[in-house]
Amino acid sequence: MTNPRPRAAVILAAGQGTRMRSPIPKVLHKVGGRMMLDRAIDAAKAAGCARIVVVAGAHSPEVAAHARARLGEGSVAIQDPPLGTGHAVLAAKDVLADFDGDVLVSYADTPLLDASAVTPLFDRRAGGADLVVLGFEAVDPGPYGRLILGSEGGLERIVEAKDASPEELKVTLCNSGVLAADRALLFRLLGMVRNDNAKAEYYLTDVVGLARADGASVLTTLADETVVMGVNSQAELAQAEAAFQGAVRRRMLDTGVSMPAPDTVMFSHDTAVAPGAVIEPYVVFGPGVTVGRATIRAFSHLEGAHVADDAIIGPYARLRPGAEIGAKAHIGNFVEVKAVTVGEGAKANHLAYLGDGAVGPGANIGAGVIFCNYDGFNKQRTEVGAGAFIGSNSALVAPVTIGSGAYVGSGSVITKAVAADALALTRPEQVEKTGWAARFRSVMAGRKKA
């Protein structure tokens, strides 16, 4: 068996994105909590592309900067001025001059395109096709370019809708714009593309006709229409997000995650939930969350957090990055946890803020407890030992340590370490003045009457 040919990708990310009406470049908008450009890079890497070139526009230096940060120097080509998709791919020619292998052309604004959709293009290349185009069956072909196949199934040409005959307009097999070819062939064909059209642009689609005229074999592969969905507006971004969420929800349900109202749950691209977990309505998962066989109650928000088996989160809980919730722990309503490890069986059931520290196994955090972790300049840690009990409405001023089994009386402000099994109290002694309330009411009633 011969070794597969090396693979590279050219990701087109130079579009103006004016229809997004946003100060953020189009391809840096997110689907599933991940930038569309990163999703395109992820797909290329997963498909085995060892070299990736992002073609950015001079108008969006943020795109080029992000690509360099992700892929390193030499990973970006600038298209300036923008003269069409063929011109954009040609901008990567010098960067890939030393590359000998197959090149995938994809787009940074097709966030649902994944490795499973593009790998078949490389497979067809390995089977002998010179150029492979990814197509899709459109429910409403509308303005899409049509893929016109020959009698033996090869791709004869791509016809834009405005140029199509009535018969060609009946074709539902449409062009996604994604293709793969040998690097030398691709750039040789692009060098032959002309801009004698209404927009005076160089179209990538012209390489199909040029390849056929050159005697090359041109074939197609197919993907679902949703997978090749492009994003050019906020409405289309929302549609892509909805499609992504629907796919993840179905996958979660299929693996045994219980969700009584799945349409209300929002996932991120990397959310991992174990079979047997229960996710109640209106839960939001930001990036970086893993959940064991736990219960996440309604209206909770999790990001950058890990939840172990048999823990209960919420309702109305917030887990921020660095929250590590142990097995059988409880994080209740209106409790916020940030960069804190909560030990097995520990509980913070109501109205608390736990930031920067650790809570030992079996400890209890009362209502209204605050870890005072920030002095205006630095974050400090609070350590609560195993089995400790922190009374309601207490403030633990970091850095501070509460020993194992210690008690902190309600309403205390703790600024010094508390020994194991000790009781710490800082509230003043209670004073009672007999009859004071009755006398006060009598005086005030007299004044009001007067």
Q: Give the count of beta carbons closer than 10 Å to the beta carbon of residue 50.
A: 12
The length of the chain, given as a count of residues: 450
Q: Which entry of 59, 87, 301, 350 is annotated as an active-site residue?
A: 350
b/e sequence 235-268, b meaning 16+ C-beta within 10 Å: eebeebbebbbeebbeebeeeebebeebebbbbb
C-alpha to C-alpha distance for 233 and 226, rounded to whole angstroms:
16
Phi-psi category of residue 208: left, alpha or beta, with phi > 0 → left and psi -120 to 50 → alpha: alpha
CA distance 203 to 205: 5
To the nearest 10 degrees (0 to 180), the angle between helices 206-213 and 183-190 is 110
Region for residue 324 given its phi and psi (left: phi exceeds 0; alpha: psi -120 to 50; beta: otherwise): beta
**CB-count burial class (<10 Å; 0-12, 13-18, 19+) for 447:** exposed
Tokens encoding 214:
């050159």
Label the pairing between strands 146-149 and 155-159: antiparallel
Sequence-distant (≥ 6) Cβ neighbours of residue 332 within 8 angstroms: 312, 314, 317, 347, 348, 349, 350
Nearest to 168 by CA among 176, 178, 160: 160
Identify the three-state secondary structure at position 4. coil
Residue 217 CB partners (closer than 8 Å, separation 6+): 128, 129, 130, 131, 154
CB 202 within 8 A of CB 194: yes
Question: Are 99 and 77 in contact, with CB atoms under 8 Å apart?
Answer: no
What are the tokens at 263? 């349409």
Burial (CB count within 10 angstroms: exposed 0-12, middle 13-18, buried 19+), residue 79: buried
Residue 269 designated active-site = no
The residues annotated with a catalytic role in the active site are 350
